[in-house]
Chains A and B, each alone.
Chain A
């Protein structure tokens, strides 16, 4: 059904979107802050990394710069909301729109090719792995480190304060937590992860493109919600694992849908499939509960 290369390709992209799902978990779930900045911070991370790599900067340094750029973008959204009292959703849309221009400015043109440049992946090709397996290996390492760090952070004093901010802001303030600062830190962290995802995506795909951010938020949400449907997010660790699993399942589902000839789907149908999958992921758990409750009502 699915060729080896298509399979590894799907897992590779899934791992990158796992990072996006981490970011969306922080904004949507931890902070209850619907943040659409990611559609801008994903290509921002890609643009910053690509331009710096072309300028001869070390690819890991360039990737670090992409994280910082993403964090700055997130901080702008949060400051618009916290300090200027702009509705969170609107604040994020404003930043997202502004980033479109900024990304064009950074790249100086709509896209930058990286095919001949040295990227974070280059040294790994010498290790003797199959060409299409290299990115998967590297990204598994990156996402595992990110997951552990994020998990530890959420369990720390500051992380706990951030979770309280999203869950019960009034209580958090009464405990002496500067909720505004927590929102700024959290949304920055979220977009830093998305910037990292953008930088890795550009390097594995061999190009940064100003339109590559379109729909990232939906894909990230699809991964998050899909993952939660598979793994109940009863703890932070489970929720983070759910993000990765959801992202990989999502990419595999897309790959299967596009590969199944009998469905007659083509690459341009991607966004339609995404929308259908997200809808199913949102609706199905509810349907399952209704069905279950229909059969268990007598017990209750």
Chain B
């Protein structure tokens, strides 16, 4: 379970470019929940994810992950609890390393690393099994450099890497946004499959309202660094994009003028 309480963060404090990204953001995600997060540009989606991951530290507020206060911990100290897939398919893997080396890096996420060989025989079966579940034939290419794979393949491997060891939460940062529609659909399907099978707790930021309603079991909308609405269960069933827009306008008394939210 993760609890974020009253997170506040301002970029460029005291400069003309001062930008309050989080303004009292609070959210609790329960064990096994799959929450989708939407919001227009600048709503604070990415900043919120970065704050949870530790890439940025909040000015005030508290983040608790599985009963541990991680508010002041840097990224690598949280990594044992927080798994992450980035938007950029090239960011989640190392292209100069082989597929098996990338997986070997991920299998030790958040653990001590020693001087024994990184790629161990005992991992191989697990690597092959999980790669073959992708149906991309990658289980036969363990020794290939990651850079030889396409963006979609690399994003699929990033997902595997994030789920190779248990974590308290899986953060997905618009991880299908940079892919072509067909590949995006494949990666999204894979995402729901992995989350279902391993009963993961996940937070997925997306730009597409449609996607936000199609997957997961709870949807949260951010606006100006706060949660403006939070729907789940029966309220969420059968909801369509236009209902979501109506809800948004009712809540904020605002017109949605961000095309990117309406499209897609």
Contact = CB atoms under 8 A, between A and B. Distances in A.
A107 interface: no
A170 B116 contact: no
A157 B116 contact: yes
A160 B118 contact: yes
B80 A176 contact: yes
Given A157-B114, A157-B116, A161-B105, A177 B76 contact: yes
B94 A171 contact: yes
B111 interface: yes
B96 A163 contact: yes
A176 B109 contact: yes
B2 to A, nearest CB: 16
Interface residues of A, number: 23
A156 B91 contact: no
Interface centre among A155, A156, A158, A174, by most chain B C-beta atoms within 10 angstroms, is A174
B92 A155 contact: no
Nearest to B119: A155
Interface string A167-191: 1101111111111000000000000
Contacts of B118: 155-157, 159-160
B17 interface: no
Contacts of B116: 156-157
A170 to B, nearest CB: 6
Contact of A163 (B83, B92, B94): B94
B76 A178 contact: yes
A171 B93 contact: yes
A161 B113 contact: yes
B145 to A, nearest CB: 8
Interface string A229-256: 0000000000000000000000000000
A167 B94 contact: yes
A164 interface: yes
A170 B92 CA distance: 8
A177 B97 contact: no
Interface string B74-93: 11110110011010000111
Interface bracket on B? 35 or more
Nearest to A153: B115
B110 interface: yes
A204 to B, nearest CB: 31
Given A173-B76, A179-B76, A164 B115 contact: no
A241 to B, nearest CB: 18
Interface in A131-177: 152-153, 155-161, 163-164, 167-168, 170-177
A171 B91 contact: yes
Nearest to B101: A160
Given A156-B116, A156-B117, A157-B113, A175 B97 contact: no
A175 B114 contact: no
Contacts of A168: 91, 93-95
A283 B104 CA distance: 36
Contacts of B53: 174
Given A167-B96, A175-B105, A175-B106, A156 B115 contact: yes
Contacts of A161: 105, 113
B77 to A, nearest CB: 8
Contacts of B91: 168, 170-171
Contacts of A153: 115
Contacts of A163: 94, 96-97
A258 to B, nearest CB: 38
A46 to B, nearest CB: 29
23 contacts: A157-B108, A157-B114, A157-B116, A157-B117, A158-B115, A159-B118, A164-B105, A167-B94, A167-B95, A167-B96, A167-B97, A168-B94, A171-B86, A171-B94, A172-B105, A174-B75, A174-B79, A175-B79, A175-B105, A175-B109, A176-B76, A176-B111, A177-B113
| Closest CB pairs A-B (n = 8) | A176-B79, A157-B113, A176-B110, A160-B118, A173-B75, A167-B94, A157-B118, A156-B115
Given A160-B105, A174-B53, A178-B76, 5 more contacts: A157-B108, A158-B114, A163-B94, A168-B94, A174-B83
Interface of B: 53-55, 74-77, 79-80, 83-84, 86, 91-97, 101, 104-106, 108-111, 113-119, 161
